[in-house]
Structure formats: structure tokens, C-alpha cells
Amino acid sequence: MIINDLDQLFEITQEKLEEQYGTITINFANKTHVYTGNDVIGNCLQEWLPDWFSHLGVDVRPGDNTQSFPDFVAVFNNISHDVEVKAWNYNNSPAFDIANFSSFLATTYESPGKLNARYFILGYQPMNDGFSQGFLVKKVYLKFIWEITSPSRNYPIGLQVKRGQPYAMRPYNFKNNEDRSFRNKRQFIYAVKDAFEEFPNDSLPFTADEWLNRVLSY
Amino acid sequence: MIINDLDQLFEITQEKLEEQYGTITINFANKTHVYTGNDVIGNCLQEWLPDWFSHLGVDVRPGDNTQSFPDFVAVFNNISHDVEVKAWNYNNSPAFDIANFSSFLATTYESPGKLNARYFILGYQPMNDGFSQGFLVKKVYLKFIWEITSPSRNYPIGLQVKRGQPYAMRPYNFKNNEDRSFRNKRQFIYAVKDAFEEFPNDSLPFTADEWLNRVLSY
């Protein structure tokens, strides 16, 4: 079967991976141990997923090496799509870092097209009941960034703020309220601009208005 | 072969594990991926090691469930020994967290014997050269806490300090200067007491002097 776009890839992935079990094993000095903790599952799944896409026949290439964003690029009919992969413990609210806020501003100013990146998101449940050890993938999502973000209690977007400085952009709880996100890309962009104005950043070579004009005109 | 104490366990472990290779694999939806990153190796090795000790015939039991310290207890001839397991990327200086400073004070005030815990420490090197993926364990150490700590530039012991508050206790670079640690347990205890005085902590139900008297009299 030929997969022609990310939405088709998502449908197949969702159908085949939801409710599937997995394990992580460490083999060292010819002794195998099945990992029983929770800490490394997301990290391992994020590495596993591009292999899965390749297995499905999708042309998957590493992302731009000089940037951590995007994780990789999927090519369909000669058109490249930026893809990010996230995973989190589905027993909790989604709390993964979407991106460092100032890196996000710099990257999207440089390449406004990256605002259209798609997020493959896996919600896994650790399984460690004494009988089986591993994890279950409960949910697979494919989202735009404005579909996993919303205004937070204190800021125009979800932001981790330390000592008055914004660090990571964080998703809202889309697990429980999938319809409370920003309505569209434009609304998201204006919220980012408002957050940028609230936290001016002299180390960036552009203003909030310049960022806004650049990404809107793309 | 019967192993009678931790030092014998260490000798065999060092002999058998140094320069050995290992891999971490994730199996999900019947597809196997060999992990190529660096982030999860230490975490996985820390889980693997107690299995290894069991395999060698050592009576290994989980640590006190209400505390994160120690990781586990090894029993030889009916005598229990607290064992901590640490691992770090040997290409860097050791920078793992030994313990949260105030938790350490509370735990050792409650159970001064835990100051005699032994630290099994693995220095691993990620291997990802295009031909092989995995890691190599370069060095195995067995240390007391005073053998991996020393006064730091700014404080009586190695401390991660954020906003004027101490967080994690950190080792000094014992990889490069194995003889620059505290000379003995007593010297370590006095340095901890000095650090406690430098960072008074009202949430602890004892003073620096009370802590000192308690752990010295044990």
C-alpha cells in the first residue's frame, strides 16, 4: 500500500499502534534485563517511530542537522513535511516541552514554514504489574502546534516561566479537552506575539512586531 | 563461587564488566529498534546491575520503599549493606546527583548508618559509529560517599545551588583525580555540617549541631 500524505500515515499508524504493547530491553555482558521503570519509554518511542514510518515505505529523512527542530522530514511526491515526535505518560496530563520559547521565535522567524510542522504524539501507559513489564500505547495523535496549545492561566500561551524568564512552551491538556485549543494558526501566532511582548528578549535580532509581520506574510 | 562481601562482588564485577559492550532495544508492534541516543543508557544500566548481582548469587533486595535511598540492599551472612547505583557518560566529568541535600540530611539524621552506603558507579561510553550502536562500560567503581566528594570551589561540599538554595549534592571529578576526595568519613561529615550551617533549613526538625552529634555518635 502506497501512503500519499501525513494524514494517511496517521490513520494507518493510529489503527496499527493504538492498544499495542512494547518492551524495552537492555542487553549487557550477555545478560538481558527488561526495563521496568517509566523514565525512558518516551525517549525510546521517539526513536522507534521514524523506523516504523520507514517500514511503511515512507521516505523519512533526518531533520536539519544544525537545528533540533524538526525531528525529521517526511517526503511525499517530492514535497517535504516537517515532523516532530512527542511522547508522554498517558496516565498524566501532557507536559512535554514543545520547544524552548526563544529558539522557537528564532527558528520560525528564520523559517516561517516550520509553523506548519505536524506533531505525531504518542500517549503511552507503563505496564508493570508483576506479570508483564513494558508499556501500552494508548493514543496516537497528529496535530498542528495550534491544536495542542491554548492560553494558559497566566500567559497568552502555555509557558514554563522561571525567575521571570520564559523557558519551554508547553501543551495544554488536549488529552481531556481536545476542543479547547487555539482555533487556528492565526490565533496561535497572535498569542505568541503577545507572549513575546510580555517577555522582551534583547538577544533576538527582531521585535515582536517584526516577528508577527514575517510569519503572517509567509 | 560464593561471594562473601561487597569488595569481592566489586572485584568480580569490575573484572567481568569493564570493556564489555551492550545495547538497548525497544520492541513495539513486533518491530525492533536499537536505541542510538545517549539519554537512557545510564537509567537502563542502573536497572540492569541488580539483576547481575542476583545472577552472581548475591541476595539482593529492594531498598526501603518509603525512601528513594538506598537503591537496594545486598545481604551477606545475614548482614545488610545499603547499595546505591550510579552511572554516567564517561566521556564527561561525573555529574550525577548523589542526593537532594535536605533529603540527605533528613535520611542520615534518621538513619546515620546510611552514611556507610556503598556506591557502585559505572562509567559508560555511548558507541554510535555507524557500524555498531550501543555502549561500552569503561570503568566500574565501588566507593563510599566521602570517596566521591570533596570541597567545591564555592562550598564545603559539591552542591548544585539555585537561587541561593542548595539542591543536589554532586561528586567532584573523581574520574581524573581519584585521590582528591575527603580523606575519611569524619572529614566528610564536618563538611556537610558546614554546608548545612551555610544554608540553614527551617523545614528540618534539627540543627546543624544536632545533625553532627547524631551522625558522629553512631
Q: Which three cell numbers stand for residue B135?
A: 555502549
Q: Looking at residue A38, what DSSP letter applies?
A: S
Average pLDDT value for residue range B37-59: 94
Segment A62-114, tens digit of pLDDT: 876 555 678 899 999 999 999 999 999 999 999 899 999 999 999 999 999 99
Segment B154-193, tens digit of pLDDT: 999 999 998 889 999 999 999 999 999 999 999 999 999 9
Residue with cell string 522567524? A109
pLDDT at B1: 77
B36 touches chain A (CB under 8 A): yes
Please tell me the distance from the alpha carbon of residue A85 to that of residue B172, in angstroms, as a whole number.
36
Sequence-ordered list of residues with C-beta below 8 angstroms from that of B203, at least 6 positions apart, any chain: B102
Residue with cell string 514543545? A98
Residue with cell string 504524539? A121
Which region holds residue B160: left if phi is over 0, alpha if psi is between -120 and 50, else beta? beta
Neighboring chain A residues of B45 at a CB cutoff of 8 Å:
26, 28
CB-CB under 8 Å, A36 with B40 = no
pLDDT at B181: 97
Segment B132-151, tens digit of pLDDT: 789 999 999 999 999 999 99
**Cis amide prior to A200 (ω within 30 degrees):** no
* Torsion angle of C-alpha atoms B33, B35, B37, B41, degrees rounded to 10: 160
Segment B85-103, tens digit of pLDDT: 999 999 999 989 999 999 9
Residue with cell string 516541552? A97
Neighboring chain A residues of B44 at a CB cutoff of 8 Å:
24, 26, 33, 35, 40
**Of all helices (H) and strands (E), which one includes residue B51?**
helix B41-55
Residue of chain B minimizing CA distance to A52 = B31
More confident residue, A44 or B65: A44
Inter-axis angle of helices A6-17 and A41-55, nearest 10: 120
Segment A122-180, tens digit of pLDDT: 999 999 877 778 999 999 999 999 999 999 999 999 999 988 899 999 999 999 999 99
B115 has pLDDT over 90: yes
Q: Which of A20, A37, A43 is closest, CB to CB, to B29?
A: A20
CA distance to partner chain B, nearest, from residue A136 (Å): 9
CB-CB under 8 Å, B47 with A37 = yes
Average pLDDT value for residue range B32-39: 91
A52 touches chain B (CB under 8 A): yes
CA distance to partner chain A, nearest, from residue B181 (Å): 31
pLDDT at B7: 97
* Torsion angle of C-alpha atoms B12, B14, B15, B19, degrees rounded to 10: 150
pLDDT at B68: 67
Longest dimension (CA), chain A: 59
Longest dimension (CA), chain B: 59
pTM for the complete prediction? 0.88
Please tell me the distance from the alpha carbon of residue B133 to that of residue B37, in angstroms, as a whole number.
9
A residues 117..146 contacting B (CB < 8 A): 137
Bridge partners (DSSP) of residue A75 are: A59, A80
CB A123, CB A130: distance < 8 Å: no
Whole-number CA gyration radius for chain B:
19
